[in-house]
Structure 1
């Protein structure tokens, strides 16, 4: 499995709980962590010796949005190559601008249904299993 250590940055505790539960349903060996603040996530990422393999980032966060988080993240040499997926229930113009500005950043729409969330995450995290179906 390519992505074993996953960070979710999301201020909605219900979405975060569903997300982590879905990751556990995919594979219990996935290490997941959640930060409810983009600012706190950046502080921890800067001070961490073990960077996540992938970051899921809620675009609409207090203090600063996904674009500002991505700018700051990309300024940190040790962290700039971590795959980031913007994770939002909205897909407006500002979100599209972020995707255009930060090459390689993907978008994943938040799912209201747990089984759909698990399926979508499985396709992102374990794509080779999805192809073999």
Structure 2
């Protein structure tokens, strides 16, 4: 499995708690960290010695929205190709368009239940042959 270190950027504490429970429910050895501010997340990422394997990014964030964050992230050396999942409660075409404009960016709708979120994360984080 290639996704061992995940960063979640989301300002909603209920969402971050649910995300953590879903990661734990997958019963995989995944380390995840949370940044509740996109601007701080970008500053932290610029200083890290080991980059995350994947970033889950809430599209609607204060200070920097998803599009602005992605644009700046892709300018950081070593993070140009880091996979990002735009993680939003809205499944609007605008967000999907933003995901399509950047390389290695997918879209995932936020889920309201632990079961649904765990299923969605499993489909992103696990190769098809291991999901069964």
Both proteins in one fold, TM over 0.5: yes
SS of equivalent residue, structure 1 residue 103: coil
TM-score, structure 2 normalization? 0.94
Kindly state the Cα deviation for residue 127 of structure 1 after the two structures are TM-superposed: 2.5
Structure 1 vs Structure 2 CA RMSD = 1.1
Q: How many residues align?
A: 131
Stretches of structure 2 that go unaligned for 5 or more consecutive residues are none
User: What is the distance in 2 between the residues matched to 1:37 and 1:94?
Assistant: 21
In structure 2, the residue corresponding to 1:91 is in which secondary structure?
coil
Quote the Cα distance in structure 1 between the aligned partners of 2:124 and 2:113.
17
Superposed counterparts of 1:54-133, under 5 Å: 54-128=54-128, 129-130=130-131, 133=132
CA distance in 2, matches of 1:110, 1:96: 14
| Distance (whole Å) between structure 2 residues aligned to residue 13 and residue 51 of structure 1 | 23
Aligned ranges for residues 5-84 of structure 1 at < 5 Å?
Answer: 5-84=5-84
In structure 1, C-alpha distance between the alignment counterparts of 2:93 and 2:122, rounded to whole Å:
27
Q: Distance in 2 between matches of 1:56 and 1:18?
A: 13
